[in-house]
Amino acid sequence: MSATASDTEIHHEHRDVTGGWLRPAVFGAMDGLVSNFALIAGVAGGRADQEVVVLAGLAGLAAGAFSMAAGEYISVASQAELAEAEIEVERSELARHPRAEQAELARLYEARGLEPELAAEVARQLSRDPEEALRVHAEAELGVSPDDLPSPLLAAGSSFLSFAVGAFLPVLPYLLGAQSLWPAALIAAAGLFLAGAVVSKITARSWWFGGLRQFAFGGVAALITFAVGSLIGTSGL
C-alpha cells in the first residue's frame, strides 16, 4: 500500500539542544540572582548602611557580569577552535586518503545497523561531494557540524545580560529606598522560584520541583553569607 501525504509529512519539530544562547543565559541568570543576593545578604548581615549595601550589590553585578561574559567567551571560543582544528584534520585526511575515509564511513554505518552492501553504497554516494563528506564525518566522528559551531560572542552576550538582570533584582528594593533585607529577600525568593519553574518547562521536570530546587539552593547560599556577615559585623573585624 502506498504512503499517503499525511504519512510522509513531518508532524513535530525539535528544540535546539546544542547549547547556543540557552545554557549561558539560564546559568547567568541563576548565578546572578544567587550570588548577588548572597553578597547583599552578607553585607546586610554585617549591619552595613543602605548605601554600602547598594554599592556592594552594584559592584557585584558589574564584576560578576563581566567575569561571566569573559569566562563564557573563552570557554566557547576554545571549544570552537578545538572543533575547527579537528575538522581541518578530517578535511586533510579526506583529501589525502579518500578511499580509506570512505571505507571508514561505511564501517560507521555498518555499526549503526546497515547491511554491508548498503553501508558501502551510502558511503560511496556521500563521498562524491567533498564538503558533504566532511560534514558527515565530522558529525559521525566528532559530534559537531562544521556549519553550526557555537558562537563565543552569542554565549558571552547571553551570559552578560542574563547575569546582570538576575543580579539587579535583589538590589532594586534598596535603590527604591528599602532599609532592610526583607524586601530584597522576597524579590530574590520569587525570582529564584520563577527562574527554576521556567527552566523546568524546557526540561522534563515539573515546574514546582524546579522552582523549589532553585529556591533551596539560593536560600542556603544567602543564609550562609548572612551568618558570616553577622559574625564579622558583631565581632568588629
CA–CA gap between residue 72 and residue 68 (Å, rounded): 6
pLDDT category of residue 141 using cuts at 50, 70 and 90: confident
CA–CA gap between residue 145 and residue 57 (Å, rounded): 41
pLDDT at residue 19, rounded to an integer:
47
pLDDT category of residue 142 using cuts at 50, 70 and 90: confident
Using alpha carbons only, give the angle 87, 91, 96 rounded to the nearest 5 degrees. Answer: 145
Burial of 15 (0-12, 13-18, 19+ CB in 10 A): exposed
Task: Tell me what the mean pLDDT of segment 27-47 comes to.
Answer: 91
CA–CA gap between residue 49 and residue 55 (Å, rounded): 10
Average pLDDT score over the chain: 86
- 206 φ/ψ sector (left φ>0, alpha ψ -120 to 50, else beta): beta
pLDDT category of residue 20 using cuts at 50, 70 and 90: low
Flag whether pLDDT at 124 surpasses 60. Answer: yes
CA–CA gap between residue 133 and residue 137 (Å, rounded): 6
Segment holding 185, helix H or strand E: helix 182-202
Nearest Cα to Cα of residue 39 among 186, 218, 234: 218
pLDDT in tens, 194-236: 888 877 776 677 888 888 998 999 999 999 999 998 888 755 5
pLDDT category of residue 6 using cuts at 50, 70 and 90: low
Q: Which residues have C-beta within 8 Å of that of residue 80, sequence separation ≥ 6?
A: 149, 150, 151, 152
Nearest Cα to Cα of residue 189 among 165, 227, 220, 164: 220
To the nearest 10°, report the CA torsion of 59, 64, 69, 70.
90
Residue scoring higher pLDDT (27 or 116): 116
Instruction: Judge whether 54 and 174 are in contact, CB under 8 Å.
Output: yes
pLDDT at residue 145, rounded to an integer:
85
Residue 165 burial (CB count, 10 A): 17
